[in-house]
Structure 1
Amino acid sequence: MFMILAHHFVVHNGYDAKNLPLGPERIFFQLVMQGGGKVGVVIFFTISAWFFLDKEQTIKSNFKRIWILEREVLFWSLALMAFFLVFDRADFGIKMIARSIAPTIMGLWWYVTAYATFLALLPFLSKGLRALGKHTHYALAITVLAIWGLTSFIPGTFGLSDNVFGFIYLFILISAYKWYMKPFTLKQIWLMTGIGLGFFLLYTCASIVLSLFGIDEGIYITGPFRLPVIMVGFGMFLLFDRLSFHNRIINRIAQSAFAVYLITDHPTTRTLLWKHLFVLKDLCQQPLAILWILGILLAIYIACILIDFVRQGLFVVTVDRNRGHWFELAWNKASEWAIKLTQSIAKA
């Protein structure tokens, strides 16, 4: 999540990193921070997908996940709306109010909307992939790699943007690995990760050469769901999956990691943070600019975690007292209506 936060600092900043003089700082911002954010998305999604593959997915269980997710999303959407309506109305119009009232449907946060859609489709996707069997699943994985993997190296070809299809693409690959493949050895994991990083460096060198000729297009390979990004992200996940340790502090902080994204990537917060308070051009004038910026991002991360601890405390004494109770009531009522509707159609 810290990698994602650093990515947002670069891509949403009021000053484009490509306008900086060509040098180590600019390369760090574009390669490590901007590219690292896409790797972070792959890791963040893989953590969920990996454990989905261990048990059967049902329509009810996944809609319950969406329900529980929506509670946190709606809380931060309304809380941030209230904050900005009181303290900074300039960037909060009627459209933003509408999006804040229905954040998932209105796509206030792309990840939330794409992930909720993926959860709704997951029971069918999981059963369909299981029904394909090993060889057809492999064929599907090779096909999507050919369509979206190999072509991702070629500028100008179509690719996957930040949406649900990217998650489906990743799930096809991850499930093929976990269900049917022999686990990679440590050497194989390092090799996959190293090859991915090698392409990052190769395209960085190409970007530098183009910049010398006045063509500043950024580092192409750091785009969403590019194959090198997946190789590095999945490789990092597998490296940590080999470790076995438990830490209560890490687990406690991890419960609020998603809140860091919701708070900092809200459109109005994003404008406030990256276009008014922490502008890249101003921060680069500081000595040890990179360390200074990373320190600011860490402080923002910690502040968001602490704020979300308050939200968790409120949930403990309110909606979490009987977690999922309202969902069960709504699901049972919807099931009754569905049965009556089916019976009435059958009679007709």
Structure 2
Amino acid sequence: MGSETMASHKASPSTRISNWGGGRNSSIELLRIVAMFMILAHHFVVHNGYDVKNLSLGPERIFFQLVMQGDGKVGVVIFFTISAWFFLDKEQTIKSNLKRIWILEREVLFWSLALMAFFLVFDRADFGMKTIVRSVAPTIMGMWWYVTAYATFLALLPFLSKGLRAFGEHMHYALAITVLAIWGLTSFIPGTFGVNDSVFGFIYLFILISVYKWYMKPFTLKQTWLMTGTGLGFFLLYTCASVMLSLFGIDKGIFIIRSFKLPVIMVGFDMFLLFDRLSFRSRIINRIARSAFAVYLITDYPATRTLLWKHLFVLEDLYQQHFAILQILGILLIIYLVCTLIDFVRQGLFAVTVNRNRGHWFELAWNKASEWAIKLTQSIAKA
């Protein structure tokens, strides 16, 4: 889309997220770190070898399920929102997004193969042929749901972005209202149909984020806090309802919600807006944030997940110790830091190898594919 077309639309709300002073705004990079820690805490609860619902009802159990389990869903919304917000400032092309997928796949494949090799050598327990096959083609085989959904979203993004622009303001508003009516308002009711953790959820979020950035007046600080409070209010409402049901012997868990239900979106997106109001620069934070995605890839690899949450850090053992919550949070922080340090090694390896001419192999492949496409088109036209 050219500059003239872009200029015909309303100006986007100002943001501090784009290159702040020639670099990254560290407030958003800090939020990226926080979001990934929330996701890590979520995985500790949902993948643990000990079901948190076996704990007696009390403040600790409520914390595990309401805060740790629930915040992971908010973290997914935040993590995606940071990326989507940047996409809305630039023209999206097939080539640029395939290149993003190419660069993403390098890191994903590195960790998939590296972790496969590690567990084949040091820990073959719970490591079958299925995991090996998935490790060779992690994105296609859905090794990590976020990676597969995000790569698919990137492939569709040029068409989605141009389509939403072509809709214009009124049709875009109508679409946003429609999806909110279908999946948003009903999501306040526990147990209703919603959007799963998939590429469809990312498209749903992108529709809402883009209508805000392209056409809406930016929320004031008061409005942002009001929406955050409303979303958190529903979190607490679900908790109270679940506690009451458990007293009558109906134990469905204190907090069960998906990433793309409206209360989660409200809290996640508004946290993003609140952090956007801050502006500072820190090389340390920016450096750590570069490894946030690696923390997810390392800790949510199936064999790592089993090792961490079913063998090393089982809730049943940790729960019985003094200051259990603080100890668990400390353990998660150490895991986060260790994974970050390990990824620094990966970044160093990439710096002297594939990143020396970043995207060079993609450009070669793209040019070759373009030549074949032209020849194929010409041969079809002559036929």
TM-score by length of 2: 0.90
Secondary structure of 2:139's counterpart equals coil
- Say if 2:52 is the partner of 1:17: yes
1:33 aligns with 2:68: yes
User: Residue 113 of structure 2 aligns to a residue in which SS?
Assistant: helix
The alpha carbon displacement at 1:221 in A equals 5.3
Separation (CA, whole Å) in 2 of partners of 1:207 and 1:201: 10
Aligned residues: CA RMSD:
0.8
- Paired residue for 1:314? 349
- Conserved 8 A contact 2:55-2:61: yes
Are 2:175 and 1:140 aligned? Answer: yes
Can you list the C-alpha shifts for 1:84-123, whole angstroms capped at 9, x where unaligned? 0001112222211110000000000000000000000000
Distance 1:219 1:113 in 2: 29
Q: Answer whether contact 2:81 2:269 (CA < 8 A) is retained.
A: yes
Instruction: Give CA-to-partner distance per residue, 1:114-151, whole Å, 9 cap, x none.
Output: 00000000000000000001111001001101111111
Question: Identical aligned pairs, as a percentage?
Answer: 88
Counterpart of 1:305?
340
The amino acid that maps onto 1:172 is I
CA deviation digits over 1:155-182, x for unaligned, max 9?
3322111100000000000000000000
CA distance in 2, matches of 1:35, 1:220: 7
SS in 2 for 1:307: helix
- Against the structure 1 CA distance between its residues 185 and 304, is the aligned structure 2 distance closer, same or farther, given a 3 Å change threshold? same
Query: Aligned pair 1:177/2:208, yes or no?
Result: no
| Rounded Cα–Cα distance in structure 2 between residues aligned with 1:223 and 1:71 | 29
Taking the aligned partners of 1:254 and 1:84, their CA distance within structure 2 comes to 26
Opposite residue 297 of structure 1, the aligned amino acid is L
Alpha carbons 1:3, 1:33 under 8 Å: kept: yes
1:6–1:34 Cα contact (<8 Å) kept: yes
Q: Equivalences for 1:224-303 in 2 at 5 Å?
A: 224-303=259-338
Q: Partner of 1:155: helix, strand, or coil?
A: coil
CA shift at 1:242, angstroms?
1.1
Aligned to 2:222: 187
- Matched residues in 2 for 1:148 and 1:16: separation? 29
Counterpart for residue 214 of structure 1: 249
Q: How many residues align?
A: 348
Residues 77 and 259 of structure 2 are in contact (CA less than 8 Å); yes or no, is this contact kept in structure 1? no
Letter in 2 for 1:299: I
CA distance in 2, matches of 1:178, 1:66: 24
Task: Write the distance in 1 (CA, Å) between the matches of 2:259 and 2:212.
Answer: 21
Opposite residue 12 of structure 1, the aligned amino acid is H
CA contact (8 A) 1:134 1:180 kept: yes
Question: Deviations 1:207-239 (Å, cap 9, x if unpaired)?
Answer: 100111111112455322110000000000000
Q: 1:237, 1:141 → 2: CA distance?
A: 19
Q: Identify the match of residue 73 of structure 1 among 108, 112, 130.
A: 108
1:306-345 pair list within 5 angstroms? 306-345=341-380
- 1:343 offset after TM fit, Å? 1.2
Contact 1:77 1:100 in 2 (8 A): yes
What does 1:151-162 correspond to in 2, within 5 Å?
151-162=186-197
Q: Give the counterpart letter for 1:77 in structure 2.
A: S
Secondary structure of the equivalent of 2:140?
Answer: coil
Task: Read off the aligned partner of 2:110 and give its amino acid letter.
Answer: F
Contact 2:190 2:257 (8 Å CA) reproduced: no
1:27-49 deviation per Cα after TM superposition (whole angstroms, max 9, x unaligned): 00000000000000000000000
Cross-structure match for 1:5: 40
Deviation at 1:338, TM superposition (A): 0.9
The aligned residue for residue 23 of structure 2 is none
Name the SS for the 1:222 alignment partner. Answer: coil
Q: Is the 8 A contact 2:197 2:258 kept in 1?
A: no
Letter in 2 for 1:140: L
2:229 and 2:343 map into 1 onto residues whose CA distance is: 36
User: Distance in 2 between the 1:170 and 1:129 partners?
Assistant: 13
The DSSP-based 3-state class of the residue aligned with 2:272 is helix
Aligned pairs for 1:200-211 (under 5 A) are: 200-211=235-246
Of 252-261 and 153-162, the range deviating more from structure 2: 153-162
Checking the alignment, whether the CA contact within 8 Å between 1:200 and 1:222 is kept in structure 2 is: no
1:59 to 2:108 alignment = no
Please tell me whether the aligned partners of residues 188 and 234 of structure 2 are also in contact (alpha carbons under 8 angstroms).
no
| CA distance in structure 1 between the partners assigned to 2:276 and 2:238 by the alignment | 29
SS of equivalent to 2:249 = coil
User: Does the C-alpha gap of structure 1 residues 270 and 250 become closer, same or farther in structure 2, counting only changes over 3 Å?
Assistant: same
Separation in 2, partners of 1:104, 1:189: 36
The more displaced of 63-72 and 207-216 is 207-216
Output the amino acid matched with 1:268: A
